[in-house]
A and B are shown apart, each in its own frame.
Chain A
Amino acid sequence: MRTLIVASSLIAVPLLAAASRPMWSAPANAEAVRAQPAAAGELTLDPVHSMALFRIQHLEAGQFWGRINALSGSVTWPMDDSAAPVIKAVAELKNIDTGSEKLDNNLKGPNFFNEKEFPSITFSSTGGTRVAERHWTLTGDLSLHGVTKPVQVDCVVTGVGKGPTGKKVGFECMVTIKRSDFGMTWGIEKPPKALGDEVRLVIGLEADETKAE
């Protein structure tokens, strides 16, 4: 009898353990994953692989692209996509890169970003609505040139991968703003039509899972 109890315990313990495993480890049951959301993942932006591209029309002709390198900040997003990502990103304007140092300096100057007074652009999302799986429309506050305005950002989770130090999550966000709303008016009317008013921002983010200290 004692032998029977020991034997049945040896079988029952692994079975019970298997039954109590987290649901996300059962790949076949996707709906069940949503029914029981996992804890929101705290992610830290990887500045090397996070940047913002901006696009603006030049002299009513070509679309000119520039970028701001090394974005920093954090993202809170449950890996099961049960809630919208909460993004807090900071773009330091000293990292503007258009491929021309002269143009970089011009953009940093008071005719445009006025980097000495407003050294960074920040975005903090405050909520979001689902568009599709891993695709959200985020609402949040964009601070640029000393002005903070609510914006809607189209955000796609581009993938969840594994890096040397843990999970990595990629996001691609797009938003179009009018720079005149943020008090950057040089080149729209004065001088006339030198640069467009609409600026499209494409933001590529890569975030690392934050390890508990």
Chain B
Amino acid sequence: MLLEVALYLVKVLLLPAIAGMAVGGFGVVTVARRAEHDRQQAVRRAQVGQAMAASIAFIASFLLEAGPVGLPLAERWHVLPYAVGVAAIVGAIVASMRSAWWVQWLIVSVILGGLAWKFVVFAASNPYIQAGLFGSIVLVGLLWSAVARDACSVGMAMMSAIVFAGLGVLMILANFASLGVMAFAVAAALAGLGMVSGVLNLREAARLRAAASSHPVALSAEPAGAACPADAACELVPWTAAAAATLAAIACVLALCGHAYNYGEVRPVHWAAILLSPFFALRVCKPCLRGAKPIVGVVWRAGLCLVVVLATIVNAVGRGSAAEEASDGAAGSDPMMDMLEESK
């Protein structure tokens, strides 16, 4: 039985994560292998992979877990693979455009928020909830886009992986295990993408150091305040606001789905805290990270995000345990049980 469960997890969690990671990682590897002079154009194309990685992992996991879904939908939450697929396409198109970060955020958030408002309708929804979904996609998208400007590709991937893993735990606490597994697949894909980026960035950093030692002029390629990870010269494929806003939109839709079918003790504030947890890493450490190695920035940002996510999960688990104890107490006051106890 243990082996069968392990094989099941490999199938619905690990394989989709590898598929997602492969797409995102392929882009990064492609850029790394490019000659320096035509790297800039390749970077924009590689950013398409970042938006796609999470979506491919989610859709593959959904298809392996719940099976293919046709139209019309048998259940409302089966809209998720379509929604995530559309988000990936919109995110990839905007990520490949040459525009300011706030323009990318605005385009992605308004398009995906509007589509979600109209078409992503879960159980017990109403116009206020749909408007709230639009608002959260715009606001969380703004936050994540702003974080993407600061954090390096590794830090951004790790923070978003932590958020999706946190959402997965909340979904399991809400008695929605299937969606939890799908969120874990997304988290694993993003973590894998972060690791691929990290390894390639380290190699690039070593190459830059070697170049600098042989040609001291090359040091000028390192911008002022280079210790800040997103500006580091060794950063091969920095995250665009479009990719970050796409991930934020997917996270908001998954959180609303988990909330709509919640049969646990998970409260709206828990979902919100996890979605907003990257806020605590927003520019917090930029001044203090000057002169530090990029890995320090990753650890600081991912660590701060992780603390918030863990605190939220501990609170949600505590609420669940308290409710369980309360219901056990009620069972103890069953008159039939009392009679049985007395007859002993």
Contacts and interface: CB of A to CB of B under 8 A. Distances in A.
Interface in A42-95: 59
Interface string B63-82: 01101000000111100000
Contacts of B124: 116
Given A192-B5, A193-B4, A111 B176 contact: yes
A110 interface: yes
Interface in A114-150: 114, 116-117, 146-147
A147 B75 CA distance: 11
Contacts, number: 58
Contacts of A147: 74
A108 B5 CA distance: 23
A185 B67 contact: yes
Interface stretch (B134-142, B257-265, B273-281, B300-308): B257-265
B65 A110 contact: no
Interface residues of B, number: 29
Interface residues of A, dominant DSSP = loop
Contact of A190 (B65, B76, B175): B65
Contacts of B177: 111
B4 A117 contact: no
Contacts of B175: 105-106, 108-109, 111
Interface in B175-233: 175-179
Contacts of A116: 123-124, 260-261
A114 B261 contact: yes
Contacts of B327: 101
Contact of B74 (A59, A101, A183): A183
A59 B2 CA distance: 12
B263 A106 contact: yes
Contacts of A193: 1, 4
Nearest to A191: B8
Contacts of A2: none
A211 interface: no
A101 B324 contact: yes
A111 B12 CA distance: 15
A59 B261 contact: no
Interface of A: 59, 101-102, 105-106, 108-111, 114, 116-117, 146-147, 183, 185-186, 190-193
Interface of B: 1, 4-5, 7-8, 11-12, 64-65, 67, 74-77, 123-124, 174-179, 260-261, 263-264, 323-324, 327
